[in-house]
């Protein structure tokens, strides 16, 4: 049976869309004064290094600076392309930590890592004074769960030509999981991130150095998280690179029945593979060695143009 011209046109558009997605997936090497990221093979891994006593997955394990540095070195050896150091838990229900306390936690770790490895260091904070101290210590990227709500963060990043991660969160860590609601979670999250990304550009941040993160688990139900992951292509084709953090999160526990975060490695691997095949640029994970392997395979399975 002959296909109708509408079917032919639809298929052609789908093929072109897939080719465009693949093209946006690799090819660029991003360099800046304090780091370098190579996306020529596709997705890369960001290691999570929580220097906190109360993070949901590994709270207290690396609260000691020496243990945190040892963990960071292991992540680098295991293939992390970037290490994200945070001094404040943002798990659901968590309370804010003072600037001074965050600085006390993260600066010694960042300084030590920068002396020992070439892997760029990101600081996970939304507080300007913490970001400044981390930058002075050698950090070269800002991961902000409030998407640069403080305009001074954008100015700091632009001044030092630093990459930024802009994340979506409904509410605050203390309140975000109290009945989160959306009319259309995919559209609302994407539009929020695009608006913040354009604002970052207006502040002088290079478009190539802006990463958008839909904030899986940050003010979202299980259904919201699944919808965002099923529609991740809409974020990938937005014109900005995408970072996704699903590692060990509670929605994986709900789907697998694994109550302990440390037992959610295989569930995490499934989401990481999905993201890498979908041309997400960075996956943020706790289990670096395992997810580097997942990404290596998934990068080879992308549809080729």
Cite the active site residues. Answer: 249, 284
SS3 readout for the chain: CCCCHHHHHHHHHHHHHHHHHHHHHCCCEEEECCEEEECCCCCEEEEEEECCCCCCCCCCCCCCHHHHHHHHHHHHHCCCCEEEEECCCCCCCCCCCCHHHHHHHHHHHHHHHHHHCCCCEEEECCCHHHHHHHHHHCCCEEEECCCCCCHHHHHHHHHCCCCEEEECCCCCCCCCCCCCCCCCHHHHHHHHHHHHHHHHHHCCCCHHHEEEECCCCCCCCHHHHHHHHHCHHHHHCCCCEEEECCCCCHHHHHHHCCCCHHHCHHHHHHHHHHHHHCCCCEEEECCHHHHHHHHHHHHHCCCCC
Distance of CA 159 to the CA centre of its chain: 22
* Measured distance CA(48)–CA(198) in Å, rounded: 27
């Amino acid at each position: 049976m002959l296909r109708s011209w509408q079917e032919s046109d639809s298929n052609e558009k789908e093929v072109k869309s897939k080719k465009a997605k693949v093209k946006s997936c690799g090819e660029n090497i991003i360099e800046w004064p304090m780091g370098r990221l190579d996306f020529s093979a596709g997705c890369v891994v960001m290691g999570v290094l929580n220097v906190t006593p109360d993070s949901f997955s590994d709270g207290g394990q690396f609260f000691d600076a020496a243990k945190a540095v040892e963990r960071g070195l292991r992540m680098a050896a295991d293939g992390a392309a970037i290490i994200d150091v945070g001094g404040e838990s943002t798990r659901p229900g968590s309370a804010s930590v003072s600037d001074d306390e965050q600085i006390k936690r993260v600066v010694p770790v960042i300084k030590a890592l920068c002396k020992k490895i070439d892997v760029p260091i990101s600081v996970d904070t939304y507080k300007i004074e913490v970001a400044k101290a981390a930058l002075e210590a050698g950090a070269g990227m800002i991961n902000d769960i409030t998407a640069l709500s403080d305009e001074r963060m954008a100015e700091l990043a632009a001044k030092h030509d630093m990459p930024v991660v802009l994340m979506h969160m409904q509410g605050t860590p203390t309140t975000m999981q109290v009945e989160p609601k959306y009319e259309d979670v995919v559209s609302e999250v994407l539009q929020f991130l695009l608006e913040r990304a354009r604002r970052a550009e207006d502040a002088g941040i290079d478009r190539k150095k802006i990463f958008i993160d839909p904030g899986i688990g940050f003010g979202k139900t299980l259904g919201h998280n699944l919808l965002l992951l099923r529609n991740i292509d809409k974020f990938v084709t937005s014109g900005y690179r995408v970072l996704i953090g699903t590692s060990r999160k509670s929605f994986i526990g709900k789907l697998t029945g694994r109550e302990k975060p440390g037992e959610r490695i295989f569930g995490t691997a499934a989401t990481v593979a999905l993201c890498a095949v979908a041309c997400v640029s960075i996956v943020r994970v706790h289990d670096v060695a395992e997810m580097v392997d997942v990404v290596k395979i998934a990068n080879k399975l992308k549809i080729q143009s």
